[in-house]
């Protein structure tokens, strides 16, 4: 009996409103998906191991590390571990092909680049880049690794397109030289902040000319960094979250024309101004009904020098259920419609969905490799698995059977 015919599978398919026939033959479709990637691996056994790892990440294994994947396939663990960690193949060539595949799947003139950090709790001190630092997944300071990620999102879906492991500054101290060597950290690697890593990846993505995107969005780590915002490509508009405590000067209102304020105030305080014009809109159709918010915006100056021409948009979004207000800064032109900023604001969440899917379904945090190359290679395989699932979703939506 096929796994699709078990009571558990039938229950899941019914819940998802998907027929068994629609997903039958998935292994064959995975083989077809991988045809464009396997030639990038140099030897037959590497191609075999690559397919094996992807199948493992897509499986129902509780832990998707090398050992359970190998056990499930009836092979030895060490060859797989060696393949991912130190095998001789070009990870960046695979990533370049993945980006082209993402573009062919998702490209849209209204696409958006999304940036976000993500933490990976780890025990011990031997894993590359590990240190006690803030872990967003746990919401506290913990022993973990931290990566910075870039996704591409459009009305067609979303996919991760780049990643960098954040290396804490302490790892570059002279007494850590042996530790870096053991973890195969590139000798020419230098310390970069998360905002520097993100800006570098955004510039590289735009330099490929692959991704049609006018906007880049991110959280307060990036919105609260003037250096990061100034380092973005000139042809990108940003919509970045700000902490409610960030101070600014109110400028001339693009929708009305108010005189600049004379003293700085927190953006949280500005959101209470009685002259703000709030508009209630339906942002999306959620599982529990419409997602409704109140939106407003005003022109502000974040620069203490308040130089001419430095006015930007402060975009406000109030959750109608919790009452919580989110604050965003944008360099978009003054004539930018509110509806356009609303659309872009909603494309901030896909990268969070990427992390949720990756960590709960695809073993994104299920790795025991400790080296620099292995961390990035593992993420590459997770990106591939996620892209395969995205294309499967597209297929199911179209009702295809081939």
Sequential pLDDT tens for the chain (402 residues): 344 555 655 565 565 565 656 566 667 899 999 999 999 999 999 999 999 999 999 999 999 999 999 999 999 999 999 999 999 999 999 999 999 999 999 999 999 999 999 999 999 899 999 999 998 878 889 999 999 999 999 999 999 999 999 999 999 999 999 999 999 999 999 999 999 999 999 999 999 999 999 999 999 999 999 999 999 999 999 999 999 999 998 886 544 344 555 678 899 999 999 889 999 998 877 666 788 899 999 999 886 655 555 889 999 999 888 889 999 999 999 999 999 999 999 998 899 999 999 999 999 999 989 999 999 999 999 999 999 999 998 888 776 443
Among the listed residues 186, 145, 138, the one whose alpha carbon sits nearest the alpha carbon of residue 166: 145
* Helix then strand then coil, % of the chain, to nearest 5: 40, 25, 35
Q: Map residue 348 onto helix, strand or coil.
A: coil
Query: 165 has which bridge partners?
Result: 147
Residue 129 · residue 144 · CB < 8 Å: no
Residue 248 · residue 218 · CB < 8 Å: no
Element (H, E) at 114: strand 111-121
25: number of CA atoms within 13 Å, CB side?
12
Structure tokens at 319: 């959750």
What does residue 293 show for φ and ψ, rounded to 5 degrees?
A: -145, 160
Among the listed residues 376, 377, 348, 365, the one whose alpha carbon sits nearest the alpha carbon of residue 119: 365
Distance of alpha carbon 327 from alpha carbon 243, whole angstroms:
7
Diameter of the chain by CA atoms? Answer: 75
CA distance readout (Å), 319 to 274, 294, 325: 18, 7, 6
Distance of alpha carbon 85 from alpha carbon 95, whole angstroms:
16
pTM attached to this predicted model: 0.91
How many CB atoms lie under 10 A from the CB of residue 175? 7
Residue 78 · residue 86 · CB < 8 Å: no
Q: E-assigned strands of 219-335?
A: 237-242, 247-250, 265-266, 279-286, 289-301, 312-319, 325-330
- Rounded to 5°, the CA angle 338-339-345 comes to 90
Residue 115 · residue 150 · CB < 8 Å: yes
């Amino acid at each position: 009996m096929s796994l699709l015919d078990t009571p558990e599978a039938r229950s899941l398919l019914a819940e998802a409103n998907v027929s068994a026939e629609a997903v039958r033959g998935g292994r064959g479709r995975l083989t077809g998906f991988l045809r464009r990637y396997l030639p990038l691996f140099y030897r037959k056994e590497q191609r075999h191991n690559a397919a094996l790892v992807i199948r493992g990440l897509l499986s129902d294994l509780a832990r998707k590390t090398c050992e359970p994947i190998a056990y499930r396939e009836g092979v030895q663990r060490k060859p797989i571990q060696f393949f991912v960690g130190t095998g001789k193949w070009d990870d960046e060539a695979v990533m370049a092909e993945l980006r082209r595949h993402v573009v062919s799947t998702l490209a849209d003139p209204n696409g958006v680049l999304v940036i976000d950090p993500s933490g990976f709790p780890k025990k011990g001190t031997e894993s590359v880049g590990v240190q006690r630092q803030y872990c967003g997944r746990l919401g506290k300071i913990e022993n973990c690794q931290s990566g910075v990620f870039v996704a591409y999102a459009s009305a067609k879906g979303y996919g991760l397109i780049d990643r960098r492991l954040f290396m804490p500054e302490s790892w570059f101290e002279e007494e850590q030289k042996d530790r870096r060597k053991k973890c195969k950290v590139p000798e020419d690697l230098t310390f970069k902040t998360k905002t520097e890593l993100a800006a570098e990846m955004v510039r590289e993505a735009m330099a490929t000319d692959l991704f049609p995107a006018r906007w880049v969005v991110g959280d307060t780590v990036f919105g609260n960094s003037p250096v990061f915002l100034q380092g973005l490509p000139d042809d990108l508009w940003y919509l970045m979250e700000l902490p409610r405590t960030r101070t600014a000067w109110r400028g001339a209102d693009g929708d009305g024309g108010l005189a600049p304020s004379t003293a700085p105030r927190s953006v949280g305080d500005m959101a209470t101004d009685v002259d703000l014009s709030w508009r209630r809109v339906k942002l999306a159709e959620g599982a529990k009904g419409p997602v409704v918010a109140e939106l407003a915006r005003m022109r502000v100056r974040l620069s203490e020098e308040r130089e001419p021409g430095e006015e930007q948009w402060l975009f406000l979004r109030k959750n109608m259920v919790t009452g919580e207000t989110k604050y965003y800064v944008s360099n978009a032109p003054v004539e930018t419609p509110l509806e356009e900023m609303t659309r872009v604001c909603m494309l901030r969440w896909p990268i969070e969905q990427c992390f949720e899917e990756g960590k709960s379904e695809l073993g994104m945090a299920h790795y025991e490799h400790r080296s620099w190359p292995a961390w990035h290679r593992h993420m590459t395989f997770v990106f591939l698995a996620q892209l395969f699932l995205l294309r499967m979703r597209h297929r199911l939506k179209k009702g295809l059977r081939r």
